[in-house]
Amino acid sequence: MAALFSRRFGWVLRAGLTDYRQALTWQRGLVTMRRDGLARDTIILLEHPPVITVGRDGHDENFADSPYDPVFIERGGDVTYHGPGQLVAYFIFDLTRRGRDLHRFMGDLQQGVIRSMAQIGIECRKDDDHTGLWVGQRKLGSVGIAVKRWVTFHGVAINLNTDLSEFACINPCGLESDVMVSAAEVLGKPVDLNSFGDKLIEQYSDIFVTQFEPVTPESLAEDMESQAGGFTV
């Protein structure tokens, strides 16, 4: 009974295929709202049209041959690709309420993917030398976050049905492009993104002891824009 009453409540925004810059605007707006107590801890699940993003540790030579204009962002890490078939989860969480432990938070993000992959028959792991999620010696997902006054944003990108040829134009996280793998390649069949998203939210609900209730961009804008400003759809 004690565990029941200690459970937190959060939001999950499932946005489908969304322009990267739009999603970045949502994240930044939610960071402000979360910091000011106007939003709950939020997970955003979506896909992006093809885009290259470069984190704080980016090196020009790792994306010099990219056909896409890079988007430079606040998260840690180097360069990566986002595109259709890749499920991205962004986490706007207030860590002042969760122990201010970034190492544990990063581990929790990875653990949610590991558990969800196990449910579809893929043994996924963390790596001692490289960040992200790995299947054998190949990389299935990337992890990178940013933090402002203990409120997190950015998160994880999971290659479910991703066209891996798109990685050929970059050195993802400084690695050779052929290190990347998708769940579809491992299983020999496509993965349903909505079903996998359900599994992911279920695992994060357990890991973070939080019940994530669905919201829409429109409801956030309607409820919060007048107080926080800047949250647009």
Nearest to 95 by CA among 147, 145, 133: 147
231: confidence class by pLDDT, cuts 50, 70, 90: low
Q: Could you say which DSSP state residue 229 is in? A: -
Residue/partner pairs of 16-23 with CB below 8 Å, 24 or more apart: 16/46, 16/47, 17/46, 17/47, 17/48, 17/49, 17/84, 18/46, 18/47, 18/48, 19/48, 19/49, 20/48, 20/49, 20/51, 20/53, 20/71, 20/82, 21/71, 23/48, 23/88, 23/90
pLDDT, tens only, 43-80: 999 999 999 999 888 788 888 888 888 899 899 888 89
pLDDT class for 122, splitting at 50, 70, 90?
Answer: very high
Ramachandran region, residue 229 (left: φ > 0; alpha: ψ -120 to 50; beta: rest): left
Question: What is the spatial distance between Cα 98 and Cα 232, in angstroms, rounded to a whole number?
Answer: 28
162: closest CA among 77, 213, 66, 88?
A: 88
d(CA 12, CA 22): 17
Confidence of residue 1 (pLDDT cuts 50, 70, 90): very low
Active site residue 124: no
Q: How many alpha carbons fall within 13 Å on the CB side of residue 3?
A: 5
Q: List the beta bridge partners of residue 141.
A: 133, 158
Kindly name the residue from 39, 45, 122, 173 that is annotated as catalytic.
173
CATH superfamily of 7-223: Bira Bifunctional Protein; Domain 2 (3.30.930.10)
What are the extents of the domains in the chain?
A: 7-223
| pLDDT for the residue numbered 111 | 97
Query: The pTM is what?
Result: 0.91
